[in-house]
């Protein structure tokens, strides 16, 4: 689909500097822009590229004034970041939407498929499953017995949803996601072997959740593992059994949450964070990369390090840690001097 500068400016309430009939059909970065693409300048350090970019149209803030000649058409707007988001959403909505149910899919007669759904090749949908209207289930997915999926949810190739799990409306599950595998529960025997503890619960994922590729969410031993409304999880994340993640919390790649822990709402958890079992993390908590959380964290706190410390304490400790080599050298010198004095 093509858009003219005049159409884009009208949509964004912007001002055109250049050709109002300039046409674009895709979006690009400003340093990689090509003819027919729309680029944007959000960071001043990339300003140099606006003078060399091949992009046909570039969005800039109202205050931007070029220091030399610009060959591309500019559209000045109040907030470039917000406008880019609006355009990306519009462009994504204009893309063709897959429809229809493949003859190569295996769908139980006891499953219910809503209206205007897409089901791809070699997908299996078991008995009792309920798929809401407008869902898109790509090839080679598995939807187990009595699974419920809400309206408008998109499930990419290779996703596996075990029996009895519930997925809300307008969710996105990327390739390789596994929902409802058994939690890691084993009881030691006297002979040193382990007995498997049956995992009889399920997973509940509320509306507007996005799960990155190869993320795994284990079913509960009893009751439910719960991912609340609006949660966004990156690729390669492990959520253990009976965990609860609060609404609108964000986690970066390779986070691991051990069983029965609870993470509050509106938290930010950076990459490779590990959370021990039976830990409670409050609301609006921020946790730095590679931190290890083995104790409860209160609302609004910041944690860094392993074991994790409060933010200010961590930075003070790290400042001392960086000086340890010099401090050790000074200590050795003092020991030498003291030895001479004693002699």
Burial class (CB within 10 angstroms; exposed 0-12, middle 13-18, buried 19+) of 157: middle
Looking at the DSSP bridge assignments, the partners of residue 223 are none
Q: Determine the Cα–Cα distance for residues 168 and 143; give it in Å rounded to an integer.
A: 14
Mind giving me the DSSP string for 114-155? -TT-EE-TT-EE-TT-EE-TT-EE-TT-EE-TT-EE-TT-EE
Q: Determine the Cα–Cα distance for residues 247 and 229; give it in Å rounded to an integer.
A: 5
Structure tokens at 261: 């822990």
Catalytic residue among 112, 174, 229, 241: 241
Q: Calculate the alpha carbon distances from 334 to 320, 328, 337, 339, 343 in Å.
A: 19, 10, 5, 8, 14
Looking at the DSSP bridge assignments, the partners of residue 188 are 194
Contact between 288 and 305 under an 8 Å Cβ cutoff? The reply is yes
Task: Find all residues with CB under 8 Å of 95, minimum gap 6, and list them.
Answer: none
Contact between 288 and 307 under an 8 Å Cβ cutoff? The reply is no
Q: Is 278 a catalytic residue?
A: no
Residue reference for tokens 């493949």? 102
191: phi then psi, degrees, rounded to nearest 5: -85, 5
Structure tokens at 177: 């996601």
Contact between 132 and 169 under an 8 Å Cβ cutoff? The reply is yes
Which residues have a catalytic role annotated?
A: 241
């Amino acid at each position: 689909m093509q858009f003219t500068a005049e159409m884009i400016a009208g949509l964004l309430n912007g001002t055109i500097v250049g050709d109002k009939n300039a046409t674009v059909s895709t979006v690009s970065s400003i340093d990689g822009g090509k003819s027919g693409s729309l680029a944007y300048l959000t960071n001043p350090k990339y300003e140099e590229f606006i003078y060399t970019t091949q992009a046909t149209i570039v969005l800039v803030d109202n205050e931007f004034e070029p220091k030399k000649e610009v060959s591309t058409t500019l559209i000045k707007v109040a907030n470039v970041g917000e406008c880019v988001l609006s355009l990306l959403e519009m462009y994504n909505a204009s893309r063709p939407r897959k429809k229809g149910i493949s003859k190569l899919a295996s769908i139980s007669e006891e499953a219910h498929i809503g209206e205007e759904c897409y089901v791809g090749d070699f997908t299996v949908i078991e008995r009792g499953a309920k798929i809401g209207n407008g869902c898109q289930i790509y090839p080679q997915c598995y939807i187990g017995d009595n699974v419920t999926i809400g309206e408008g949810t998109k499930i990419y190739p290779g996703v596996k949803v075990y029996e009895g799990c519930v997925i809300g409306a307008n969710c996105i599950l990327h390739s390789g996601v596994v929902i409802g595998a058994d939690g890691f529960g084993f009881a030691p025997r006297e002979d040193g072997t382990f007995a498997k503890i049956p995992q009889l619960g399920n997973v509940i994922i509320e509306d507007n959740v996005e799960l990155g590729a190869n993320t795994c969410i284990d079913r509960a031993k009893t009751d439910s593992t719960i991912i609340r409304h609006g949660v966004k999880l990156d690729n390669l994340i492990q959520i253990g059994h009976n965990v609860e993640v609060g609404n609108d919390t964000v986690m970066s790649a390779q986070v691991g949450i051990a069983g029965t822990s609870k993470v509050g709402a509106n938290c930010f958890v950076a990459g490779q964070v590990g959370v021990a079992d039976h830990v409670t993390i409050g609301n609006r908590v921020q946790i730095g990369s590679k931190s290890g959380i083995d104790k409860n964290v209160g609302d609004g706190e910041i944690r860094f390090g392993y074991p994790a410390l409060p933010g200010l304490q961590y930075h003070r400790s790290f400042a001392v840690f960086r000086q340890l080599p010099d401090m050790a050298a000074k200590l050795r010198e003092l020991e030498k001097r003291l030895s001479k004095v004693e002699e």
